[in-house]
Structure 1
Amino acid sequence: MASSQRYYHITTFGCQMNKADSERMAGILENMGFIWSGDPDNADLILYNTCTIRDNAEQKVYSYLGRQSKRKHQNPSLTLVISGCVAQQEGQKILRRVPELDLVMGPQHANRLEDLLQQVFDGNQVVVTEPIHIVEDITKPCRESAITAWVNIIYGCNERCTYCVVPNVRGVEQSRTSQEILREIKVLGQQGYKEVTLLGQNIDAYGRDLPGAVETGRYRHTLTDLLYTIHDVPGIERIRFATSHPRYFTERLIVACQELSKVCEHFHIPFQSGDNEILKAMKRGYTQEKYHRIISNIRDRMPDASISADAIVGFPGETEKQFEKTLKLVADIGFDQLNTAAYSPRPGTPAALWENQLSEDVKSERLQRLNHLVAQKATERSQRYLGRIEKVLVEGQNPQDKTQLMGRTQGNRLTFFRGNINQLKGQIVEVKITEARAFSLTGNLA
């Protein structure tokens, strides 16, 4: 093996935004001549793209770093990089814990990876966490899929939810212009991508910060306007978006999703708690009644739409009665999918300092009860697919059973069926559903 070959490995923790950032950083590394290695122990450069939304994700990063730090003592030419939200949150402090790190970089600096590595190769230990205006997305991502692609449309978040560390680590909202987004999606269409997912920490805030945003009492560049702008891009057959905020979710957006045939009938709208007092303490800016109205409006227009959400149990001060309101909301709405978590105090957030923290036992018992209900309701929701013919975008083979292909319905249900991957990859096929589980389906080609 020629010694001039340099290998890199990226491990990604956390959200879709992080996955998109990792793809961009992989693209930069490949442009620099690095080659991907699936084995971190065979890599000359290791990058951990981190998440700080919960404590366990953060602790996992430190255990991974510990192993590679030891390796660096045997092999000083190993380059160790930590990026993402833990890097932003800890900054210089992380070097006291892991002095072997070469580069510590916040998520806003993902596009600058080449320049920053150049400083490392010149012999410097580099920490960059200062807020910057994110340079337009000129990097060519090394995308994991050749069929579906992430497209960032807004970075950062201006909300101040009392439990959430994201605004501290991802900075203020910065929207990309619709021209730039359209240009990126056109290229994806030309490259054979069939589906794009528009990403934003708070995607409904898109466009509020763009020049000339307000005109005659309404925002001119909203997510709804953007959907109309990109809808007819040749080659792109499906459009998704995430994550929505109930405070800003509009009737106009629902109408657009109903009118635009390429926009998938799938909404990810976190509610976090079913109790108004807890929502107020979280500073979420809406009530559970408003949340119910949003879902009713969606289902009035699109009865079959899939609804997914996020919920937190065990928020400081949450009583059993308040938790039961969350259970009631989940039972009443019947989500297709729900990401659940026990509250985890995060550095620099108001709720972490409150004295009314709940015990880990109470949090984990509530989480178990909620998860049991979620699986039950998702199984019920899944039954509507039985016997139906669903359009499925073929993404690849089932890793557990190579004789099966897998893809997603418009409503984002993972679906397995037999077929020839070479003939069908990237195609939208019709599948008759024969089996419905809580979070996935099985069927036969129709």
Structure 2
Amino acid sequence: MIDLQLTEKTHDEARQGEALVIDAPEQRNGKKLYIESYGCQMNFADSEIVASILKEDGFTTTGDYKEADVVFINTCSIRENAEQRVRNRLSQFGAEKRRNPKLIVGVLGCMAERLKAKFMEEEKLVDVVVGPDAYRDLPQLLSQAEDGSKAINVLLSREETYADISPVRLNGNGITAFISIMRGCDNMCSFCVVPFTRGRERSRDPYSILAEAQDLYERGYKEVTLLGQNVDSYKWKGADAEEGAPIEVNFAQLLEKVALVSPELRIRFSTSHPKDITDEVLYTIAKYDNICNYIHLPVQSGSSRVLELMNRTYTREWYINRIDAVKRIIPGCAISSDIIAGFCTETEEEHQETLSMMDYVGYDFAFTFSYSERPGTMAARKLTDDIPEEVKKRRLSEILVKQQEWSLRRLQQQVGKTVRILVEGFSKKSDQDYCGRNDQNAMVVFPATKNISPGQYVNVYIERCTSATLLGRLAE
């Protein structure tokens, strides 16, 4: 048996991944792998692909990097402080490498692609640098590193989707899983490095996606999240598996196909883009009870002028139109967002437009950031990061306060109601309570009982709430 563990650092919060035991490969090479992942859900999913590739090469994995022969950090370049955390972690691994010179340390993912040779030159402890499209090359690169050579492959691909690889599930609860449906991004948002670090957009074939969803369901998983940088632009052209006729599948059609795997398999997806989300997608969500009534729809700014500078390709009015459509077609649908404070040249009036947008939508929750210039982006090349840090911090604080108010208000609306949740495990604060998420992605905590176990759907009567959590008891 293999003990698998992953650490995921999402946005500004870190959580330790749970251990997962899976069947061992027939052949082992005696070496252990340790992986940490920083950033978005796509990085988490990529780490599962890496674990699968190296499992086939005979690696087992460990939750203790001091036991490992190979240590990987799967990195994020979205924000400057994410890169700083990676550098700090590398210095910690460096101390272990000095104790164990045979230890191989590798950097994977977006930061690896962006900084490339700089890691080899300046970070002396890094032996392997691998970009998001080169994970199949890892066994060869590790062999190269074992021979004492530095190994690097950051080539981007127009075809790679890893569709044929069955990911090793690293989150360990056996209940929820990610399914990557596409890779890369064609949206050249001026603040974002993703198109440069993950390459052009390409969609995975629907047959492999459905096969993965079916396999997860048969193995007892109860929820899947379909992942892509912009899921609404998913589009696959190919031949029908049975008749061979040319077909084209869009995201709404894919969503329906996955929902039909089983009514007991709950479906989520991330991330949507305001310029691409269609009424067809919204009607598909409304049609199927097992597609969660929750949409992450990043606005970034409430100002049309700032949105144009960001190259988001929609206006304030367009975004409001999409919000109105969500509320009309899916009443009660939860909506979350990403918001950037202090983008280049943002005026106080435009900041107020963002606050008014938050009031118009009433987001259930939001991921909020002050603008951080990323080297190589359009904004870094053509715009001036001219908002003082103290102004960014003040504007971000105002956004945070408003979002806390709306998060509390939205949860208060569910007090006194009975909600259906999927039990994920014990609460972080107490092994006397279970926790799980409802259809709107709100965390629900309730007293554990012997006749309830993780993986079950239960009805919980909501008695009270905090600004982040619903608290209740099992319904009669």
Task: Please give the TM-score of this superposition, normalised by the length of structure 1.
Answer: 0.94
Letter in 2 for 1:141: P
- Cα deviation per residue 1:150-169 (whole Å; 9 max; x = unaligned)? 00001000011110001000
Please name the residue that 1:8 is paired with.
33
Task: Report matched runs for 1:142-291 at 5 Å.
Answer: 142-143=168-169, 144=171, 145-207=173-235, 210-211=237-238, 220-234=248-262, 236-291=264-319
* Runs of at least 5 residues in structure 2 that lack an aligned partner in the other structure: 1-28, 241-246
Give the CA RMSD over aligned residues.
2.0
Q: Measure the CA separation in 1 of the matches of 2:96 and 2:391.
A: 40
Q: Measure the CA separation in 2 of the matches of 1:355 and 1:384.
A: 42
Q: Is the 8 A contact 2:166 2:212 kept in 1?
A: no
Letter in 2 for 1:265: N
User: Secondary structure of 1:136's match?
Assistant: coil
Q: Does 1:359 align with 2:388?
A: yes
Please name the residue that 1:91 is paired with.
116
Q: Measure the CA separation in 2 of the matches of 1:421 and 1:134.
A: 46
Q: Is the 8 A contact 1:154 1:203 kept in 2?
A: yes
Please name the residue that 2:341 is paired with.
313
Q: Measure the CA separation in 1 of the matches of 2:450 and 2:103.
A: 38
Amino-acid identity (%): 36
Q: Measure the CA separation in 1 of the matches of 2:303 and 2:154.
A: 36
Please name the residue that 2:368 is paired with.
340
Task: Report matched runs for 1:124-143 at 5 Å.
Answer: 124-132=149-157, 133-134=159-160, 136-143=162-169
User: Secondary structure of 1:362's match?
Assistant: helix
Could you say if the C-alpha distance between residues 173 and 421 of structure 1 is closer, same or farther in structure 2, counting changes exceeding 3 Å?
farther
Task: Report matched runs for 1:427-446 at 5 Å.
Answer: 427-446=456-475
Shift of 1:28: 3.0
Letter in 2 for 1:345: E
User: Secondary structure of 2:292's match?
Assistant: coil
Q: Is the 8 A contact 2:164 2:208 kept in 1?
A: no
Please name the residue that 1:375 is paired with.
404
Q: Measure the CA separation in 2 of the matches of 1:82 and 1:322.
A: 39
* Runs of at least 5 residues in structure 1 that lack an aligned partner in the other structure: 214-218
User: Secondary structure of 2:168's match?
Assistant: coil
Letter in 2 for 1:89: R
User: Secondary structure of 1:346's match?
Assistant: coil
Shift of 1:171: 0.4
Shift of 1:5: 4.5
- Cα deviation per residue 1:362-398 (whole Å; 9 max; x = unaligned)? 1111111100000001111111110111101011111
Q: Is the 8 A contact 1:120 1:126 kept in 2?
A: yes
Shift of 1:27: 2.8
Query: Number of matched residues?
Result: 438
Letter in 2 for 1:250: T
Q: Is the 8 A contact 2:141 2:152 kept in 1?
A: no
- Cα deviation per residue 1:173-216 (whole Å; 9 max; x = unaligned)? 010011111111111111111111000001111016x3589xxx
Please name the residue that 2:4 is paired with.
none
Please name the residue that 1:55 is paired with.
80
Shift of 1:111: 4.0
Q: Is the 8 A contact 1:111 1:135 kept in 2?
A: no
Shift of 1:127: 0.8
Residue among 76, 90, 97 paired with 1:65: 90
Letter in 2 for 1:285: T
Q: Is the 8 A contact 2:373 2:385 kept in 1?
A: no
Q: Is the 8 A contact 1:417 1:442 kept in 2?
A: yes
Q: Measure the CA separation in 1 of the matches of 2:145 and 2:163.
A: 23
**Bigger mean CA deviation after superposition, 60-69 or 388-397:** 60-69
User: Secondary structure of 1:221's match?
Assistant: strand
Shift of 1:24: 1.9
Shift of 1:235: 7.2
Please name the residue that 1:17 is paired with.
42
User: Secondary structure of 2:432's match?
Assistant: strand
Shift of 1:92: 1.2
Q: Measure the CA separation in 2 of the matches of 1:350 and 1:429.
A: 48
**Bigger mean CA deviation after superposition, 314-323 or 35-44:** 35-44
Q: Is the 8 A contact 2:72 2:107 kept in 1?
A: yes
Residue among 434, 438, 453 paired with 1:424: 453
Q: Is the 8 A contact 2:358 2:403 kept in 1?
A: yes
Shift of 1:100: 2.2
- Cα deviation per residue 1:62-111 (whole Å; 9 max; x = unaligned)? 11112212322331110101101100101112111112212101112234
Please name the residue that 1:216 is paired with.
none
Task: Please give the TM-score of this superposition, normalised by the length of structure 2.
Answer: 0.88
User: Secondary structure of 2:94's match?
Assistant: helix
Letter in 2 for 1:19: F
Q: Measure the CA separation in 1 of the matches of 2:90 and 2:301.
A: 35
- Cα deviation per residue 1:290-325 (whole Å; 9 max; x = unaligned)? 111111111112221100111101001001110010
